[in-house]
Chain A
Amino acid sequence: MIRGAPIPDAPDLARMRAERHAKLQEQMEAHGLDGLLLIGSSNVAYATGAGSPTSDSGRAYLFRPMALLGRGAPSPHLFTPYREGAPPELTDEWVHPALYSELEESAPVIAEAVGRLVGAGARLGVDELTHPLAEALSDWEVVSASAAVGAAKLCKTPDELACIRAAQRINELAMADVQPTLRPGVRQTDLSARFLRRVFELGATGSCIDPIWQVMPATRGEGPWTTHGDVAFPTPTTDRFLRDGDVVWVDTGIDFHGYASDFGRTWIVSETPRPSARQRAQYQRWRTVVDAVLERCKPGVTALELGRAAVDANGGTKPWIEHFYLAHGVGTDSAEMPLIGTDLGEAFDERMVMQPGMVLVLEPVIWDDGAAGYRSEDIVAVTDDGWVALSDYPYDPFEDR
């Protein structure tokens, strides 16, 4: 249960949008904002529920939708080149032609729209700006929206959790079709081909990240040079052939109605994949770390306590890569708050207290120099009295059956 409510089998998208709007209104009130002007892809989707085609950043910047929320207004205003993506409750009063925040010539039009819909001189939270947008807003008090939007997004509603679970399910079902093709001579891009075909057939609304099938070196020294001396991950996919015995770290993410999945597993390339005793031990240690974290995971526990539980379970050594984390959230972005174990430091982790509706993608790494390492990702949501799994995929070929 999430604050007394169950996670539904299928999300009620209209209810989800209404609850998100209410949360943003609450945060605008709390942060003294008269309006919110959002242009980041995931923020616009969160604030309006509007769909837009998943695309490369260049296209997304030039043709980006914009959300404009006034404090106390019943709905958000949406400016979009993709009218068809607007949810049904956003009638013509709320949906407007695109405003091009990349273009100088649009600055006066944007200023006019903000003045008309939110009012002159208001205190406006923005998620980011372009130079033309900054010029358009020179008569407003412009402040960062990140505290307000971040607070709204941090704890998911039951419908949002249902979306994340659905995204993850699509991702996992596709992987069940990809994993059997992992044989010597297959290329990384062949795996992507199978994966992309299946995720779209299964209902994904987008592929948010070039699917990763990274072949891990046996030792750190054999891998790419890194600024910190630790392992390089993730590196992009190529047409590289996979060969017998390659240890492959898989990492993919797809979109389902604005919510991301995050799939991570370690696979072995072989006609008959059988991990060595050493590789099995890596997996066992990963399991031990995850179990230790989950045992403590419930509302009120700090991220610092969860991080310490992971380190203790790993014999005092930090079980994640230097530039990564033990866990991150997932939602409208594939990596968002809460973060556990980053270089933001212990004080940051101590302030991050688990609450119902938070999502954790646990991704410890058990590096075993000389025999590569094991990494998988499991997703849980914090519930009223513990946690519930949002991911469900086997650990083949490591699991004892």
Chain B
Amino acid sequence: MTISPGLGTLPEGGRVDFDRLRAERRRRLVDAMRARQVDVLLLGRPANLIYAAGVRQLWTAGARPWGPGCVVVAGTGRVHLMSTWDEGVPAEIPRSDLFGLSWNPAKTTANLKAIPGLSEAHRIGTDGLSVGTRQLVAALAPTAELVDGAPVVGEARSHKTADEVACLVTAAAAAEAALSAMVDVLRPGISERQLLAVAAQRLASLGAPVLPSQAAACALHGRLRRTLTDRAVGPGELVALTPAASFAGYEGSLSRTWLPAGSHPSPDQRDMARRCRGGLDAVVEACRPGTTGADLLQRWEKATGSAASAGLTVHGVGLGVEPPLIGDGVGAGAVLAPDTVVAVQSWVAGARGGGFLQKDLVHVTTEGPRVLTRFSSGPVGGDDA
């Protein structure tokens, strides 16, 4: 499939076929349920709701408390959704399979009880838990066993269909636009806050106003920071530019390290950039089915000469960030699967503070790694570095 990344639709179709995308996702989810003998999934996480129901709902930030927002019944293949209206709900979910938002848990329980196939379920999976979830499941299906539903949805989500990859590339292209907008205004005196403001404006004016990560820029005088500050960029100071964009729920993100206009790279900076990119390239090259987290960490250490625990982060990307997570002391045992997409981030800290950061999205295929993000490595990390 040729991808022509753009946010608008074309009269002839042409771009992402969303009907097909939703049908394939739903088929994969129901297959995963059957393979793991899970009869019913109660889902509460926004990305899982998008995956199962294809619904376009209001985006809110942060980790929200768990509650049942969507019910998938393997036996009937039906997806029941908590939505008070049908706007944003795809046609394959009939109005009769919608139930309204309620503040009153008793009403929600009553709505759930009416769902065909739920009360006779043997195994019910949830993608999160509250203290009351066990009682809720017992009330819905007295003989059912409560199991972890996250691996079921995770298995379905990890494999990316061609349409999903097209969404990821489109989101990546939007993130690249935000990165370009930040590079345009990067000069001494501009603050991290102003850089985020520019990136956010650019993304929203493209038609992609959801900001999956609001850590867009960090002036690298010390350690890599992710929380927003008013700090201004100094002359000659490296800046990590780390935008992320969302298209139909799919996240595109990349990171580059740049110098403000008028600055020239120092030998130290060039050295950090060379090591950072060397580590990134070594890991990207190894992003093939079957590679373990331990392999990736080892390759990065060999290429950079630094300890991987603080420098390499690899995680899944699809409808936002998803497992596996490799780095920060976890994920050595994770195994890369075919047709998944991972973000690979390499960070090399300088001996006197600061450092160099680069991140790309990589499609893991049986034919080898395919880098989905595209952007110059900048004035320090360029190919002539």
Please tell me if the beta carbons of B58 and A212 are within 8 angstroms of each other in the complex.
Answer: yes
A residues 29-63 in Cβ contact with B at 8 Å: 39-42, 51-63
Once bound together, how far apart are the Cα atoms of A211 and B230, in whole Å?
23
Given contacts A56-B251, A323-B84, contact A211 B227 (CB under 8 A): no
B334-361 interface bits toward A, Cβ cutoff 8 Å, 1 = contact, 0 = none: 0000000000000000000000000000
> Could you tell me the distance in whole angstroms from the C-beta of A7 to the nearest C-beta in chain B?
24
Judge whether B148 is part of the interface by a CB distance below 8 angstroms: yes
Judge whether A224 is part of the interface by a CB distance below 8 angstroms: yes
In the complex, chain A residues whose CB is within 8 Å of the CB of B100: 226-228, 323
Given contacts A56-B251, A131-B148, A227-B85, contact A40 B58 (CB under 8 A): no
A128, A143, A232, A237: the one within 8 Å of B87 (CB): A232
A180-207 interface bits toward B, Cβ cutoff 8 Å, 1 = contact, 0 = none: 0000000101101111111011010111
Once bound together, how far apart are the Cα atoms of A192 and B207, in whole Å?
9
Judge whether B88 is part of the interface by a CB distance below 8 angstroms: yes
B120-161 interface bits toward A, Cβ cutoff 8 Å, 1 = contact, 0 = none: 000000101111110000000000000010100000000000
In the complex, chain A residues whose CB is within 8 Å of the CB of B325: 62, 100, 102-103
A residues 219-274 in Cβ contact with B at 8 Å: 223-228, 232, 234-239, 255
Please tell me if the beta carbons of A197 and B197 are within 8 angstroms of each other in the complex.
Answer: yes
What would 10 more interface pairs be, CB under 8 Å, given A131-B148, A203-B230, A210-B59?
Answer: A54-B62, A54-B211, A85-B227, A130-B150, A144-B130, A209-B60, A210-B210, A223-B85, A235-B85, A323-B100
Judge whether A98 is part of the interface by a CB distance below 8 angstroms: yes
A residues 268-308 in Cβ contact with B at 8 Å: none
Once bound together, how far apart are the Cα atoms of A323 and B90, in whole Å?
22
> Could you tell me the distance in whole angstroms from the C-beta of A112 to the nearest C-beta in chain B?
13
- What is the interface of chain B, defined by CB distance below 8 A to chain A? 7-8, 45-47, 56-66, 83-88, 95, 98-104, 107, 126, 128-133, 148, 150, 193-194, 196-198, 200-215, 223, 225-228, 230, 244, 246, 251, 315, 319-323, 325, 328-331, 333
Once bound together, how far apart are the Cα atoms of A240 and B377, in whole Å?
36
Judge whether A134 is part of the interface by a CB distance below 8 angstroms: yes
B64, B85, B213: the one within 8 Å of A40 (CB): B64
Among all A-B residue pairs, the 8 with the closest Cβ atoms: A58-B320, A193-B204, A131-B148, A41-B62, A232-B85, A56-B212, A200-B197, A224-B87
Judge whether A385 is part of the interface by a CB distance below 8 angstroms: no
Once bound together, how far apart are the Cα atoms of A325 and B101, in whole Å?
12
In the complex, chain B residues whose CB is within 8 Å of the CB of A228: 84, 100
Please tell me if the beta carbons of B45 and A207 are within 8 angstroms of each other in the complex.
Answer: no
Please tell me if the beta carbons of A207 and B211 are within 8 angstroms of each other in the complex.
Answer: yes
Once bound together, how far apart are the Cα atoms of A201 and B200, in whole Å?
11
Chain A interface bracket (under 10, 10 to 19, 20 to 34, 35 or more): 35 or more
SS of B interface (majority): loop
**Interface-side segment among A8-16, A342-350, A360-368, A391-399:** A342-350
In the complex, chain A residues whose CB is within 8 Å of the CB of B126: 131
Judge whether A92 is part of the interface by a CB distance below 8 angstroms: no
Once bound together, how far apart are the Cα atoms of A102 and B324, in whole Å?
10
In the complex, chain B residues whose CB is within 8 Å of the CB of A232: 84-85, 87
Judge whether A400 is part of the interface by a CB distance below 8 angstroms: no
The residue in chain B whose Cβ has the minimal distance to the Cβ of A41 is B62
Please tell me if the beta carbons of A128 and B130 are within 8 angstroms of each other in the complex.
Answer: yes
In the complex, chain B residues whose CB is within 8 Å of the CB of A212: 58
> Could you tell me the distance in whole angstroms from the C-beta of A95 to the nearest C-beta in chain B?
14
| 28 A-B pairs with C-beta separation under 8 A | A41-B64, A53-B215, A56-B61, A57-B61, A57-B64, A58-B47, A58-B322, A60-B62, A62-B315, A102-B150, A129-B129, A130-B128, A130-B129, A144-B131, A190-B204, A190-B205, A192-B204, A193-B200, A194-B201, A198-B197, A200-B194, A200-B228, A203-B230, A208-B62, A224-B85, A226-B100, A232-B84, A342-B104
Once bound together, how far apart are the Cα atoms of A226 and B100, in whole Å?
8
